[in-house]
Amino acid sequence: MEKKLIHGETLGELEGAVVAMGQPKFRAKQVADWLYKKRACSWAEMTNLPVEFREKLEDEYVFCSTVPIKIHKSQDTTRKYLMQLGDGSLVETVSLWAPDVEDETGFGRVTVCLSTQVGCAYGCNFCASGLSGFKRNLEAGEIVDQLLTVATDIEKESGKTDRFPIDNIVVMGMGEPLANYQNLIQALTIINSDWGLRFGARRITVSTSGLVPEIEKLADEKIQFRLAISLHGTTNEVRNQIMPINRKYPLEKLFPAIKQYSEKRGRMITLEYILIRDLNDSLSQAQQLAKIAHYLHAHVNLIPCNKVESLSWIAPMPAVQKQFIGFLKSANVSATIRLEKGDPIAAACGQLSFKTKVG
Ligand code: SAH
Ligand code: SF4
């Protein structure tokens, strides 16, 4: 029997499993407490569980499915973890530290960017994740384990264990999260639940290239995550050139789904807009983007395109970027821009730059 991932199980599933092992149901809550409240790193630490029960758990479950085989640190603010999964596949998890945004502990704010698939089937032609195609969906436990592995690494380095060291989660790493819908929701449920990590849904953002039926489904989920849409083009003509998904779900289908989402949730969504030289950086497109942002009641996050080896798109000149955001602001659009090209944060999320070959 293939082992399951312990961090991919809900409390209800754990209860079923412990009862099947001949244990009382309350043991499931004890296991969950060890996993998420005390954040145990091994079965051996779970000292209030009978030894034979721990051995059974070990026979049936993998404790941690993500091994950080390489950690790339840049300027002390960004860390890219190359995670090896059980089958040898590689994904990237990124942590971004914003030291200037102080929280009450004076430690700064940490955001973690999670991957949801090995590769990506959507083939946006500015993105490194889709370059080698789609391999497989991540399991829920593999998504949760990325977060726990990064948290443990941060704690090891800071020496602080008084609180969970991560403040925000963005699901913007490798893959299209809404194409792995069930495992995504299962993982985020474990992260959000009272019996799990108790991580607030408002601090979790899911980014999608625009899968309309799944956006509609997400609007009805119990847990209220934040939503970011990778827009990148204000017309079908431009979007078709860079995002093949737009042929299936063009803007006239996408916008009503986004509008419905934000109306049901009663909160602003974010439009991600990669600025690409001579493609989507003109003033008329800024005007169109402002109209869309007002219509959808959305915040705009501009991202100067990062050059991906073998792909031809590049960012506009800084003056053009400035003009673009300047226009949005003068049109009363809530807008931010990621810092200059070469900035470690700009280069961090959504683009996989590790080139390690394993084996
Ligand atoms: N598949 C989802 C989430 C992963 S992509 C989505 O498309 O939204 C995460 C983010 O990284 C997206 O906003 C994506 O557009 C951005 N990204 C990908 N390639 C990039 C590049 N070359 N330069 C800047 N941002 C990029
Ligand atoms: Fe996939 Fe998102 Fe990259 Fe498009 S931008 S190829 S959907 S990961």
pLDDT at 76: 65
Contact 352, 132 (CB under 8 A): no
Q: Is 246 in the pocket of ligand 2 (CB under 6 A)?
A: no
Q: Is 126 in the pocket of ligand 1 (CB under 6 A)?
A: yes
CA of residue 156 relative to chain centroid, distance: 23
349 in active site: yes
pTM, 2 dp: 0.94
320: number of Cβ within 10 Å: 16
> What b-and-e string marks burial along 325-351, b requiring 16 or more CB atoms within 10 Å of the CB?
bebbeeeebebebbeeeebbbbbbbbb
Strand segments, DSSP code E, in the chain are 4-5, 61-62, 67-74, 78-84, 90-98, 109-113, 117-119, 134-137, 168-171, 204-208, 226-230, 269-275, 298-304, 335-337
Q: Is 124 in the pocket of ligand 2 (CB under 6 A)?
A: yes
The one-digit pLDDT tens for each residue of the chain (359 residues) are 789 999 999 999 999 999 999 999 999 999 999 999 999 999 999 999 999 999 999 999 999 999 999 998 876 678 999 999 999 999 999 998 886 555 555 567 899 999 999 999 999 999 988 787 899 999 999 999 999 999 999 999 888 888 899 999 999 999 999 999 999 999 999 999 999 999 999 999 999 999 999 999 999 999 999 999 999 999 999 999 999 999 999 999 999 999 999 999 988 999 999 999 999 999 999 999 999 999 999 999 999 998 888 888 999 999 999 999 999 999 999 999 976 444 444 444 555 545 444 33
Specify the pairing of strand 4-5 against strand 269-275.
unpaired
Domains of the chain, CATH where assigned: 4-62 (1.10.150.530), 66-345 (3.20.20.70)
Which numbered ligand comes closest to the C-alpha of 129?
2
Gap from CA of 208 to ligand 2 centroid (Å): 8
Q: Is 127 in the pocket of ligand 1 (CB under 6 A)?
A: yes
pLDDT at 350: 52
Gap from CA of 39 to ligand 2 centroid (Å): 32
Catalytic residue among 9, 15, 92, 214: 92
Provide Rg for the chain, Cα atoms: 21
- Residue to mutate, 122, 170, 212, ligand 2, most ligand atoms under 8 Å from C-beta: 122
Gap from CA of 282 to ligand 1 centroid (Å): 20
Which numbered ligand comes closest to the C-alpha of 207?
1
113 in active site: no
Which numbered ligand comes closest to the C-alpha of 114?
1
